[in-house]
Amino acid sequence: MNGYWEETRGLMIKVLVIWFIFAFVVHAFVKPLNGIVILGFPLGFWMAAQGSLIVFVALIFWYARKQNAIDEKHGVAEDE
């Protein structure tokens, strides 16, 4: 059971690091990112308005899939 919690904790740490980067770090560099223009919009503006939200939704689905794989590997999946 220790392996299960180690993998779960490792996944949680990865998710929190990704969340922190897109919630705070990217927004701290909005002005320099605004120098890059994609489809007519400054990258900093786009990341603040849309990019971070897209990453958060993708992160939820990725986390659920990875946690389910960990659950199945250790025999504690809800589907069983």
Domain segments of the chain as ranges? 2-73
pTM of the model: 0.81
Q: What does DSSP assign to residue 50?
A: I
Q: Quick one: how many helices (H) and strands (E) in the chain?
A: 5, 2
pLDDT of residue 77: 87
pLDDT of residue 70: 96
The per-residue pLDDT of the chain, averaged, comes to: 91
- Greater confidence (17 vs 44) lies with 17
Residue 80: pLDDT over 60: no
Structure confidence by residue, pLDDT tens digits, 19-41: 999 999 888 888 888 999 988 88
pLDDT of residue 78: 84
The residue with tokens 């705070």 is 24
